[in-house]
Structure 1
């Protein structure tokens, strides 16, 4: 199969998996909020954040395993790949054994760490217990994820994700239907879906990369050391990401209260899901780029990177512009029992960085592939330190809890936007050894496309007197059409336009031939 066709299949599978996930979230979130309340729902996000804190310990080892194993396989160093694979597996078991002791102690003293309403105490502890269990299962078998990456079959992992999300939703709905609503149902359903993921990953490993064998004689401390020091900066970067985003919920819980934390958790869904979509699409580039890097095909790698940045500029303006203009309509329709205007303001505060950051998503692949993560992490940590101080100072200048929420929601994203404007284009260009101006030109074109797109969307919104799902969907379709058209003219160069026209002509020809 050609690389273009494989890329198209992987991209479609990733997007479809995301759409299934977001659809489930779309229907389940108001259901859970309605059954348990916004305050209880906030603890679901908080529990996940606690797991992300614990995951930092394992990130230094696991984050670069895929990169080293993949390069070893493509360079036909099978014994070396087996050492990496086996060493990570056994090291993860040791790490989980240690972390589980800390987690149990944390679980029994959770009420002294968080503000938990008395009526939710047992429910929240059970939720955290299942989320921790899910984390342990995921980490032990984490290295099995590498097989679909090595052979560039991300469509298989996407199909697995679709089924696991459906399984999670069905399990959750079944428990809500059969029993009295409880918060821990969310954690239990998550464990069920993860067990399915683990079983399929084992199957993929056995069928796609049977040469990867786990054995005690392959365990190698040198391999562990190499992976650890290569991944230590990724781990520090994960700390930075956790502090700059997930830490917001903890801060809201401790400084404002559980109810307002729940409100903030709801508004995190749109920006997080939007970013997740583009991270999934970006993941499609990683396997072929890693292969090109391993084979030393530098020029081809450069061309792929620049083309991907233009593509991301084209597609990333669409959801961001839609959120900026129609976000309030969405909340009025999705969560009619909540304050739609407040949710909209907090969401916009959490999306400030997206128009700048999303077009440059492919750069993050380069940091990992070239093993140049340190500078990115250090710059991010510096920005977080400044933003954290800013939050602590400004939040104490106001007594209004809504203003405090807006400060928490918007400060980290504001500094993230600064990073996208300054650091990513400069250091990204240095890593791939191309002129910095090329990345800045693409960024400016993406921003111009975004700004132009906002104008017709504002005019369209003015024609809507009463929001409904029908006109909301119509506006979404109009945004896609306008966004693609404007991006095609503003962001794409003549070569990109020609390739796109040729691809569309081929698709149309095949459809006509079948008809």
Structure 2
């Protein structure tokens, strides 16, 4: 592992830990302050705004790739055209989409199960959420700088500042004024503005050779991004149908209260997905660089290693979440939520299996082979909606039907399709990536089994006991990593680097 990877991975892990702490503390605070139904509407409105990414993905999903490949090849003028065209196109598209959000906010309360006393606040939250989405869309171009320079820890700095400000503003608004749903997206918007300032500063520092000039704005460059990104839009549509349709279907099929309960349950699975996503993106710049240098052998070896290390990082928190689901729900949200521990176990189990393959998603992007993944993802997304409706409405499985449908679809996509397709476009054996999943899965089973064994002989009733179990499992997992995660030579190199760091 080189220094850039260690910096990026460490920063992303620290950002995830802070995000987890914020979520653990804020979720019960918001639930008990606003109520379960209001909490569900907060996340439901944000999910509905995220559906607009079907439109924006045609630009934002590919601009970083095109810019980085051109810059790595020394085609500076071409790289500047891509980025300048993106900024202008994203601003005009954002204005149009925000006007659409204003119109949709009036229809929102008629379509969803929204209590009358929360209708106006829900509309305001939707509008503020739309502003936040548009800001993040425009600022996606800023992410090209740390991606190209392979300094993703810069983005982590912005995310950390954003999280702290968001949490601080929520507490201040809830304390100084009457708590309302729209305070949540307002706090997030303030945090994003601060992160934007940090992003612009580092953007200028990392790529000082870039300067926005109107002569660089090119319709042909924008069309190139759109033509390539259109398949990302189709893929994004599929992703939304099996990752962000849960709350909408819960609201429509079951009701507002169940939406709030499920939104609370989803906080930890969402954190796990965020962790896996932030780890996967750490590998993306190097994958893109291997492709730019036409080093396919190095790319394959690196991608296989990425699966193993991504799996090892994600396996521990996922197994810990599943193994301690019962006492965690009891202590975190109270006895009313303890019976939903099985939902948390379902999510933890399939995420252990699926999230380790996320680094492979950047290989088709590097090769610009996006059509097949987009079509498959869209088909699976539609299948998820049909499965969820059948299991929930027809078989009367309730929330468990929605969770099970998502699990089935994500298993098919990440475990079957993604490794097979990556092997195909890189001209490798279909099973080349699976052997790297054994060590992470064995580690996850070990931790889950230890947690279940402890609960079988001891009743966990306090946060202190929960933390002690987590600490014991953490050191046990560290020993497992040292013994099985790397080769003897890699272990010797690790010990040597640690000694050098201590001596310095």
The answer to whether TM tops 0.5 is yes
SS of the residue aligned with 1:176? Answer: helix
CA contact (8 A) 2:173 2:183 kept: yes
Pair 1:113 & 2:104 matched:
no
Of residues 391, 395, 414, the one that matches 1:394 is 391
Counterpart residue number, 1:435:
429
Among 305, 316, 320, the residue aligned to 2:303: 305
1:72 to partner: Cα distance: 1.1
1:9 alignment partner in structure 2: 7
Alignment RMSD: 1.8
Distance 1:493 1:27 in 2: 35
1: CA distance, partners of 2:52 / 2:412? 28
1:278-318 CA-partner distances (Å, limit 9, x unpaired): 21111111112212221222222222222222222322221
Q: Which moved more, 1:309-318 or 1:150-159?
A: 309-318
Distance, in Å, in 1 between the alignment partners of 2:203 and 2:313 is 33
Aligned to 1:139: 137
5 Å-filtered alignment, 1:240-255, equals 240-255=238-253
CA distance in 2, matches of 1:232, 1:377: 9
- Kindly tell me: are residues 208 and 459 of structure 1, through their superposed partners in 2, closer, same or farther at Cα, counting changes over 3 Å? same
- CA drift of 1:13 comes to 0.8
What is the SS of the residue equivalent to 1:140?
helix
Residue 493 of structure 1, CA deviation: 5.7
Match of 2:270 in 1: 272
- Could you tell me which residue of structure 2 aligns to residue 504 of structure 1? 495
Q: Using the alignment, how far apart are the partners of 1:438 and 1:481 within structure 2?
A: 31
Match of 2:377?
380
CA distance in 2, matches of 1:95, 1:215: 19
Equivalent in 408, 414, 420 of residue 414 of structure 1: 408
Alignment of 1:100-499 (within 5 A): 100-336=98-334, 338-342=336-340, 344-399=341-396, 403-487=397-481, 489=483, 492=485, 494=487, 497-499=488-490
Deviating runs (4+, > 4 A) in structure 1? 487-490
Measure the CA separation in 1 of the matches of 2:118 and 2:335: 21
- Alignment check: 8 A CA contact 1:168 1:190 kept: yes
The aligned length equals: 504
Shift of 1:136: 2.0
Which piece of structure 1 moves more, 26-35 or 292-301? 292-301
Do 2:240 and 2:381's aligned partners in 1 also have CA atoms closer than 8 Å? no
Aligned partners of 1:195 and 1:184: how far apart in 2?
Answer: 17
| Cα displacement string for residues 226-280 of structure 1 (whole angstroms, at most 9, x for unaligned residues) | 1111111111111111111211111111111110011111111111101111211
User: How big is the shift at 1:467?
Assistant: 2.3
Could you tell me which runs of 5 or more consecutive residues in structure 1 were left unpaired when the two chains were aligned: none
Q: Are residues 326 and 6 of structure 1, via their aligned partners in 2, closer, same or farther at CA, if it must alter by over 3 Å?
A: same
String of CA shifts for 1:407-446, please: whole Å, max 9, x gaps: 0122111221133332122112223333223212223443
CA distance in 1, matches of 2:253, 2:288: 44
- 2 CA distance for matches of 1:347 and 1:171? 29
Given that 2:323 and 2:449 are in contact with CA atoms closer than 8 Å, whether structure 1 keeps it comes out as no
* Conservation of the 8 A alpha-carbon contact between 2:238 and 2:382: no
Choose 453-462 or 316-325, whichever is displaced more: 453-462
User: Would you say the 8 A contact 2:158–2:196 is kept in 1?
Assistant: no
Q: Give the superposition deviation at 1:476.
A: 1.3
Range moving further from structure 2, 165-174 or 434-443: 434-443
Please report the TM-score for the alignment, with normalisation by the length of structure 1: 0.93
The 3-state SS of whatever aligns with 2:348 is: coil
Which sits farther off after the overlay, 458-467 or 187-196? 458-467
Q: Is the 8 A contact 2:307 2:356 kept in 1?
A: yes
Q: 1:176 to 1:418 in 2, by over 3 A?
A: same
Distance 1:421 1:9, change over 3 A: closer
In structure 2, relative to structure 1, the CA distance for the partners of 1:384 and 1:138 (3 Å cut) is closer
For residue 58 of structure 1, report the CA deviation from its aligned partner: 0.8
Q: Tell me the secondary structure at the aligned position of residue 368 of structure 2.
A: coil
Deviation at 1:12, TM superposition (A): 0.8
Post-superposition offset of 1:116: 0.9
CA distance in 1, matches of 2:165, 2:439: 42
Unaligned 5+ runs, structure 2:
none
